[in-house]
Amino acid sequence: MKNHRIASTESFMRIRLLGFALTFFVLFTVFCRLAPAQAPASDSPAIEAKARAMLTKLTLEEKIKLIGGVDSMFTNAIPSIDLPRLKMSDASVGVRTWGPTTAYAGGAALAATWDKNFAKELGESLGRDARARGVNFLLGPGVNIAKAPVNGRNFEYLSEDPYLNSALVVPYIHGVQSQGVSATVKHYALNNEEYNRHNVDVEVDERTMREIYLPAFEAAVKQGHVTAVMNSYNLVNGEHATQNTFLNLKVLKGDWKFSGVLMSDWDATYDGVAAANNGLDLEMPSARFMNEQTLVAAVKSGAVKEATIDDKVLRIFRVALRYGWLDRPQFDPADSTYSVADRPIALKGALESITLLKNENHILPLDASKIKTIAIIGPDAWPAVVGGGGSSQADAFQPVSIVAGIANLVGSDVHVLYTRGLPEMNDVFWHTSWEADMKEATYPSKTFSGSPVTSTPHGINNYKQEWWGPADKTPRSIRYTASFKAPKAGKYLVLAAASGSDHYTVSVDGRQIIEQVQVEGQYPESASIDLSAGQSISVVADYLPGFAGNRFGLGIVNESDMISEEVKKFSSIADTVVVAVGFNPSTESEGFDRSFTLPWGQDALIEAAVAANPHTVVTFIGGGAFDTHRWLDKVPALVHAWYPGQEGGTAVADVLFGRHNPEGKLPVSFDRSWQDDPSYQYYYPLKGADTKLHVTENNHSPVDYDIPHVKYGDKLMVGYRYWTTTGKHPLFPFGFGLSYTTFSFSHLDVPSSANTGTIDPNGIQVSFDVTNTGSVAGAEVAQLYISDPSAKTTRPERELKGFEKVSLAPGKTKHVTLSLDTRAFSYWDESTHNWTIDPGKFVIRVGDSTENTPLQGDLTIN
Ligand code: BGC
């Protein structure tokens, strides 16, 4: 993965020295806050005139300078027109430029809240945090569809559903932009996997794009009035996003009339002239392609019109003028870098997102007064895991781990026992007892051919956690052949790890059990095998280093020996056991995809705990669905905590002990296995179908890239659209989440007919009642799905078109009215290239998940 942004201290230091100016800033800020900072949906004639006047003062070289970034996270300043450099920061879970921050439940966790009001509050908090750091462009929200559970960045995105994403992204953007900060909706578009993200070419038809992958961007532009969009790394139908005519010119700037700045993802530009001509306004983080050398010549030769460059510059000016960035300092001393006021927002998101998936015999909520000893076990119990890895990774000021959250809640009367329960990875490599015949053969080629240099090591333990290394001057491939004798019968874990772009396979008795496929980064790989006492196996590991040196580790361990002694001891003496499993920034991250299975050893850890104490609750941290098949039927309760941000430990404890009634709902369908997922066959590139892309970067020799093709043959059948259309069932359906109370739905009122032409602007009103039928207060998400059985074309069996979160005291009822506009009934007609309604019968269903919709009514559209 890229070396992410070295922290710079400049702005903070300089601003400190300007202490005397603070008083002025404060007064000025008060003035600015009185005037709304929210960028208007369109520009006033005054802004247009000012932008054009500024443009006339620039030379062609200055204009080009403005459309390429500098110092990783800035645009260039143009002192002659008083334009400061504009600062950017990532912010999927917290504003991270630079140093510690308030880390919120963002991305998939936000989606699990299904709370539009919270989306706005989160946006406002992030906007304030950004102003406290002088940030002009917040590099979020990410709204790519969670097409597959293994995508390494789902945790930064929202859900598998375009309607849910759209409904949340609009208030989020309003929140951010109300603080005088531009949101940047990303990654436009079809960046649904981290695997080989720079090179993958997504082959997708227009209807699928318009109905599934583009609506959240469309809502961000048309309803959210977002002032920046970020192009993704990948190609779409043969063109990189940054130079994609269809995405950028036809759809974004044409159909949706986007008037803001279209910037590239970091190093996602491949051709300066093509990008300039196809809508890219700003190349980040530096002008590798859209620079003076390329573009001055291109303007002179007529390959790029100067008016095209002017349009980009004007867009940057307009956004700067809309927010007043030329008239006031972006750093706002009224906002704290660490705001105590934001901690409740961080806690609120965590509480609202935690999703209870299983609660057999009402084992939850736990009763602290009945617990003398609680055992808290597992790698995600401590330290706190606030978010995933990559550019969104935020260091929280005061993160609360699950151990601390529970201990704080139960107080000193309850005995708290904590153990991680699993060894460190290197311990497995160091302590594997290989038989004496191990051989390491280093070949002078990348194909395990030629005469190898051999040695007889005792183990395979060179692993180092590095992303990059020095280039490999001589091609090499390394083959390990070894044998291992099982001292006793049981399950054995085969564990391997390498670094950066290394590749390897591991075979046991001639059968390949592990293959590392990621390109930019990776997580440790493992496989579980059954061995009988005394059984000998032959192991072959073919290791292909991506860089100089050998950074490969391999080990085998008996699974029950791997679990620390304390797990059994603590579990058996505790009244209740909490096993905190899941991912973390090194196993789920930008740059590579994650496994569907839990990280190595964790299945065995749960099995060991529940075997010692059936009163075991599993909590999970991660960005989506995962494999539960080894233990779910043995464990009475499962709590999905997403990436809960800095207050996660407090929130998990509050939910476990009933201080907060769980209200999170799955924003994705939860599969039984990765193979079951509807996108399984349409995710990794078609084997042997790579094409070449020839790229010439200034001052460098041309480079040929391999372009793998991923065919989106699943079309509209993403997530629950597949499950409901096929009549098959995932493990847990989209929209599902348990509560400590119960709700009922009643009194559906749907008009029996409507006319196509008169639906908008008021919409068709559908109303119903939601009642809390249990004995504690709680919140329910009422979900409205529409089916179009008389459509002339194939449509998913049902689609989400409305929802509302309702908080109710026990016994109380709320009457909910949802409004359905024309789009709610439409599909994208490929022949007319437009949205269309087929008149006829529509079915409206209301309930609490795709699989439980007790209310149903028909509506005929004429
Ligand atoms: C990520 C973007 C991020 C950018 C700047 C890239 O690697 O894909 O999401 O905004 O870096 O940090």
Least confident of 188-192, 260-264, 470-474, 755-759: 470-474
**Phi and psi at residue 513, to the nearest 5°:** -115, -15
Distance 265 CA to ligand 1 centre (A): 6
Q: Do 650 and 728 contact (CB within 8 A), yes or no?
A: no
For 494-514, write each residue's pLDDT tens digit.
Answer: 999 998 889 999 999 999 999
* Residue 391 CB less than 6 A away from ligand 1: yes
Confidence of residue 10 (pLDDT cuts 50, 70, 90): very low
Distance 94 CA to ligand 1 centre (A): 14
pLDDT(466) > 90: no
Place of tokens 């089916």: 787
Distance 795 CA to ligand 1 centre (A): 35
Q: In a mutational test of the pocket of ligand 1, which residue from 137, 242, 265 has the highest number of ligand atoms less than 8 Å from its CB?
A: 265
For 143-166, write each residue's pLDDT tens digit.
Answer: 999 999 999 999 999 999 999 999
C-alpha separations of 519 from 48, 157, 209, 471, 524 in Å = 45, 21, 26, 16, 14
Q: In a mutational test of the pocket of ligand 1, which residue from 139, 191, 195, 197 has the highest number of ligand atoms less than 8 Å from its CB?
A: 139
Q: In a mutational test of the pocket of ligand 1, which residue from 234, 590, 592 has the highest number of ligand atoms less than 8 Å from its CB?
A: 590
Nearest CA to ligand 1 atom 8: 265
pTM: 0.94
* Residue 156 CB less than 6 A away from ligand 1: no
Q: What is the pLDDT of residue 830?
A: 95
Distance 794 CA to ligand 1 centre (A): 37
Q: Can 265 be counted among the known catalytic residues?
A: yes
Distance 609 CA to ligand 1 centre (A): 39
How many separate helices (H) and strands (E) can be counted in the chain?
A: 21, 39
- Atom index in ligand 1 nearest the CA of residue 197 equals 8
- Atom index in ligand 1 nearest the CA of residue 139 equals 10
Smallest Cα–Cα separation from 606: which of 597, 596, 617, 595? 617
Distance 110 CA to ligand 1 centre (A): 20
- Atom index in ligand 1 nearest the CA of residue 2 equals 7
* Residue 153 CB less than 6 A away from ligand 1: no
Confidence of residue 406 (pLDDT cuts 50, 70, 90): very high
Q: Do 386 and 398 contact (CB within 8 A), yes or no?
A: no
For 315-347, write each residue's pLDDT tens digit.
Answer: 999 999 999 999 999 998 888 888 888 899 999
- Atom index in ligand 1 nearest the CA of residue 233 equals 8
Q: Which residues contact 561 (CB under 8 A, 6 or more apart)?
A: none
- Atom index in ligand 1 nearest the CA of residue 390 equals 7
Among residues 161, 265, 281, 342, the one annotated as catalytic is: 265
Q: What is the pLDDT of residue 701?
A: 63
Torsion sign, CA atoms 346, 349, 352, 357: negative
* Residue 188 CB less than 6 A away from ligand 1: no
Q: Give ∠ CA 70-337-400 in degrees, rounded to 5.
A: 115
Cα separation, 133 vs 332, in Å, equals 8
Mean pLDDT over all residues of the chain? 93
Distance 788 CA to ligand 1 centre (A): 39
Cα separation, 816 vs 769, in Å, equals 6
Nearest CA to ligand 1 atom 12: 391
For 760-814, write each residue's pLDDT tens digit.
Answer: 999 999 999 999 999 999 999 999 999 999 999 999 999 999 999 999 999 999 9
Smallest Cα–Cα separation from 119: which of 134, 105, 138? 105
Q: What is the pLDDT of residue 42?
A: 62
Confidence of residue 3 (pLDDT cuts 50, 70, 90): very low
Beta bridge mates, 181: none
Provide mean pLDDT across the span 572-589. Answer: 97
Provide mean pLDDT across the span 60-65. Answer: 98
Q: In a mutational test of the pocket of ligand 1, which residue from 153, 200, 266 has the highest number of ligand atoms less than 8 Å from its CB?
A: 266
Q: What is the pLDDT of residue 809?
A: 98
Place of tokens 């491939």: 477
